[in-house]
Amino acid sequence: MPDRGGGPTGPRIRATGRPSRRVRTLLMTLGVLAVLGMAFTMFAGFWTDWLWYRSVHYSSVFTTTLWTKIGLFSVFGLLMAAGVGFNIWLAHRLRPPLSAMSMEQQSLDRYRMGIAPYKRWLLLAVTALVGLIAGASAAGQWRTWLMWVNGVPFHQKDPQFGLDVSFYAFDLPWYRFLLGFGFATAILSLIAAALTHYLYGGLRVTSPGARATGAATGHLSVLLGFFVALKAVAYWLDRYGLAVKSSDFKATGNWTGLRYVDANAYLPAKTILFCIAVICALLFFATLWRRTWQLPVIGFGLMVLSAILIGGLYPAIVQKFQVQPNEQAKEAPYVQKNLKATREAYGIDDTKVTEYTGKSTTTDKSKLRDDVDATASIRIMDPNIVSPTFQQLQQMRNYYAFPNNLDVDRYTKNGKVQDTVIGLRELNLAGIPKNNWINDHFRYTHGYGVVAAKGTEADSQGQPVFTESDLPSQGDLGTYQQRIYYGEKTNTYSIVGGPQKEIDYSDDSGEKTTSYEGKSGVSLSSPINRAAYAVAFNEPQILYSGAIGEGSRILYNRTPKERVEAVAPWLTIDGDAYPAVVDGRIQWIVDAYTTTNGYPYASRTTLGDTTADSLTATNNSRAVVAQQNQVNYIRNSVKATVDAYTGAVKLYQWDTEDPVLKTWMKAFPGTVEPRSAISQSLMAHLRYPQDLFKVQRELLTRYHVTDAQTFLTGSEVWQVPDDPTNKSGDAVPPYYLSMKMPDQSAQTFSLSTTFTPNGRDNLSAFMSVDSEADSKDYGKIRILKLPTSTTVDGPKQVQSKLNSEQDIASAIKLLKGGDSEVEYGNLLTVPLDGGLLYAEPVYVRGAGVKYPLLRKVLVTYEGKTAFEDTLDKALNKVFGTEGSDTGSSDTGTTTPPASSNPTVQEALNDAQKAFDAGQEALKKGDWTAYGKAQDELQDALKRAEDAQSKADKASGGGTKASSSPSPSSSPGSSVSPAASSSPSPGASASPSG
């Protein structure tokens, strides 16, 4: 009809109700565009992954993983689809020619007639759906397949069945997957066939006469027989599964392996049930000829009853009446197997346990003073405390930042190895002047330089003694590529190398620019690449921005752990990647582990729980990757490096005997370089990894004993103590320290921890592992076991005594004056002459300057304690090698606080006023007033010190008291004029920051 107006025109609908051709064309076009959009989105994800793996030269990892997934998806998807589809087709083929004329069948006729025109399409849809689900599930088993097909022997046999460990680690998981797939196929096929038989009259529920036709009976019986046959296989595999079965056992925690009841009840029960299941399956298959379910049903009922009685009730009776009355005697042989396997699986079987008295044998303690320096390089710069100090003194620009926790490494100068606290000045996007897309991704792209300080020294103001500092960095590390494009804090993408220049760094002459010259990242010269990344990163500007041009490359996946995990997805990554300057380049060093959950008899542990401590609780970036992984075998089999400039990833074989690594090297040939490829300069910076050490120390709380009877009593169970320096309730972290154990002739770089008895705070053992990679004793674990008949103070008790000592408590209270905050550094424990020396740095954050400075050092040995300005003074005080102890307390601490002297107190009050005036001037940028205040502060502190010295001499002390006034002990004066240093242009104390 003609348009008469009165409304908007538009596509007209015909009288038939069908859309017009124009509408159909529009809908079809929109549909095609939607499909193309989804297809390109999927392509973009695939294409960018391929480009990234190719850019890091690990394309074989991508292709191997991809083709394995495709193969598993295709094979098992087709098998599932074929199995279900064939049984549906067969059930339809075996339908009876005529259905009984009953109400049930008349109702079903409507459904049969409804689906009749679409039977073929319905069959295809059902089989395609189950095939896709099964294929996707199978694709997720690519690791299981690769380990099975490439598995190498361990050359170690389990004590129960005499099979190589590789059967449990590589073969059994794959067999279990196949068994699970078989069960799924049998159940789905049985359900589909039964529904089809019911729909076409082969099965009848309410109709008179036989409930099933002979054809339906035979078909379903075969499927049931197949299911029961699989159950027989499951019973047989369960026998071997007992060797890796987890169960809670009060003596061992997460026990793995056979116990008495397993070997004497469950194992024979599984064998009997296997035989019954085989007979039952044969009875089901026999219905092809007998056409009756009478015998199979009886057999199936017998199998179920046997599973209840033999598989459940009988083992419970054995446990109740044989094991519990004499548990230790019954379980001892199996516990012994668990002890041996667990110690082997975690690499703690060669642990050397030595009895240690915990008491010094030298009566004249002054003779031990020189031994302290020879025994340990006591680190007073705590890398977990001083990051804000690095930040304040060496940040230089707000767009740089240091990690929350710095690292400890070793560097050699003039032939002497120095424990060094090190951190990188990484990019901090939160601190750039203005955030926008160009600044965030083109202008500010990298950090700059290494900052390092001596671990065993602080200057007179409590600041780190830097060995590498300033911008550009300079110092003991020589010349190296300082730009940091890949780091722990670099978690966004950057586009470099194109027409847009990058901010390099700033100095007195202004900003310096650069352009990335490395070959890292993916080229954006191709329009396809740009479009793919625009979709992948959901950033359309990548497609059309003029800042991208010839030579532009996109950098992403930039954290060291992220890169190593991507190129080696079969590795578990240590939580702490650390930097080192090696051959003129900054290299991130990443420790990586091979693990399995299938080592027979070895107890399991959850990595996230075992490696947790007070540091991971506050800094999740230090947590191990794959925290939920349960393992019962672990090896630090790979050392990886990531170049901070190019992002190049290298994997080195570290454990040359590990069969798990050999298996993965077969699966991914060429990805791991041999150990011989590690240069000597890199070897000097490799160390024993913390997360492996934490796993081992947790296991050694129980598995340090080798006798089953002692193990079962639980009398020798230890625990890792809580961190005494805070109230978090989390485990104390292990610490790196150059030290000498009693059986060693010289100091070695070590990783150490302490143990306390279960439920108590006194010390039970000290554990250390040689961490120098080029040492012949690398990885050797030594435990000094203290006697149970005497009590030696543990870390928590030592910390408590230090805090409760009257003179020390008064001095700490003085340090907290003026809203300052006291922070305790790592409480270090060092074995010395049969006793144990504790040392702890104490830092103060001033009210005006919010970064910690070293103010005091606590030292205690054999009941004598000192709280001094420096480590040397504290050691001299404890060992009585400087002056006399007249006027000191019984614990060898200090004279009463300086505040008891009126003259001293008056001077300290003047110092506080001068300090406050200086801080106010600093905020206003009044450098004249600031300088005047600093002079007054210095004068007041000098008067206080002179007055205290006179008081000491008058009392006959003859030595400078540890609480004598100094910049660190003025009220609230955690920052003195020297502490923040004289302000200079660009210095951290300037108003501009």
Closest C-alpha to 406, from 504, 489, 505: 489
Q: What is the pLDDT of residues 640-689, one digit of tens each?
A: 999 999 999 999 999 999 999 999 999 999 999 999 999 999 999 999 99
% residues pLDDT > 90 (the chain)? 50
Instruction: Check residue 574 and report its DSSP letter.
Output: P
Q: For position 238, what pLDDT does the model report?
A: 94
Q: What is the pLDDT of residues 505-545, one digit of tens each?
A: 887 777 889 999 988 999 999 999 999 999 999 999 999 88
For the segment 609-616, the average pLDDT, to the nearest whole number, is: 85
Assign residue 626 a region: left if phi > 0, alpha if psi is -120 to 50, beta otherwise?
left
CB 480 within 8 A of CB 452: no
Closest C-alpha to 464, from 392, 373, 374: 392
Q: For position 913, what pLDDT does the model report?
A: 76
CA torsion sign for 41, 43, 45, 48 is negative
Closest C-alpha to 684, from 408, 454, 411, 378: 411
d(CA 354, CA 82): 64
Q: For position 531, what pLDDT does the model report?
A: 92
Q: What is the pLDDT of residues 764-818, one digit of tens each?
A: 999 999 999 988 999 999 999 998 887 888 888 888 887 778 888 888 888 887 7
Instruction: Check residue 726 and report its DSSP letter.
Output: S
Q: For position 303, what pLDDT does the model report?
A: 84
Q: What is the pLDDT of residues 454-474, one digit of tens each?
A: 999 998 888 999 999 998 999
Where in 500-568 does DSSP place strands (E)?
A: 502-507, 510-514, 522-523, 553-555
For residue 244, give Cα distances in angstroms to 143, 259, 399, 699, 711.
Answer: 19, 11, 52, 18, 20
Both tokens of residue 677? 């490829």
Q: What is the pLDDT of residues 732-754, one digit of tens each?
A: 999 999 999 999 989 999 999 99
d(CA 181, CA 136): 12
d(CA 575, CA 590): 9
Q: For position 829, what pLDDT does the model report?
A: 93
If pLDDT is split at 50, 70 and 90, which confidence band does 968 have?
A: very low
Instruction: Return the SS3 of 316.
Output: helix
At which residue do the structure tokens 């560097």 appear?
Answer: 411
Q: What is the pLDDT of residues 14-46, one digit of tens each?
A: 444 566 777 778 778 888 888 877 887 888 889
d(CA 101, CA 784): 88
If pLDDT is split at 50, 70 and 90, which confidence band does 848 have?
A: low
